[in-house]
Amino acid sequence: MDIQLIQGDITKVSADAIVNAANSSLMGGGGVDGAIHRAGGPEILAECREIISRIGSCNKGQVVPTSAGRLKARYVFHTVGPVWQGGAAGEAELLARCYEGSLELARELGLSSIAFPAISCGVYGYPKEEAVQVVRSVVDRWHEKTAGLTVIFVNLSRDMHRLYEKMFAGDAGANLSERKI
């Protein structure tokens, strides 16, 4: 796994897959979910609707792929992070599952790159530093298993981007340039 950190809008990032921090209805919402559906167009929502008619709802930690409409990506991976409830409700495990399920799917599909937003760190209220620690532990577990995959962590806010920079500073292979889009 190669790591890149970008500060900016994930809908502008070129990657084989863009991960969406969705909710269990997969019917869109605010935050990054709204931005992805707005930029990607109605095709993505139509696919989500079809999937939900089959599976009922998307569980927390589950990952569901669709095509990416007008986005510069081949896929959108919709995943549902945990709502922060104080930390004793399995939030860290559920959050890790969102990242791991997405990496697993990227590997199965033979993708070269995947872009993640900070899942659960907006409306769902996950404490930012703790969320970045979860990401770090996933990266450590998956580093070897994902050779050749570029993983891009995209943050709209400078503060969140800085937390990632702090967490990954010194990593061999991590591209920590101040890319801004």
Binding site for ligand APR (CB under 6 A): 9-11, 21-23, 29-35, 81, 117-124, 154-157, 160
For residue 7, the cross-strand partners are: 155, 180
Give the position of tokens 């899942």.
Answer: 119
Q: How far is the CB of 159 from ligand APR (least distance, A)?
A: 9
Q: Which candidate, 11, 17, 2, 47, places its Cα nearest to that of 114? A: 17
Q: How far is the CB of 48 from ligand APR (least distance, A)?
A: 11
In the complex with ligand APR, the residue whose CB is nearer, 24 or 112, is 24
In the complex with ligand APR, the residue whose CB is nearer, 28 or 143, is 28
Among the listed residues 2, 9, 16, 33, the single catalytic one is 33
In the complex with ligand APR, the residue whose CB is nearer, 45 or 143, is 45
Q: How far is the CB of 141 from ligand APR (least distance, A)?
A: 21
**Is 33 one of the catalytic residues?**
yes
Catalytic residues: 33
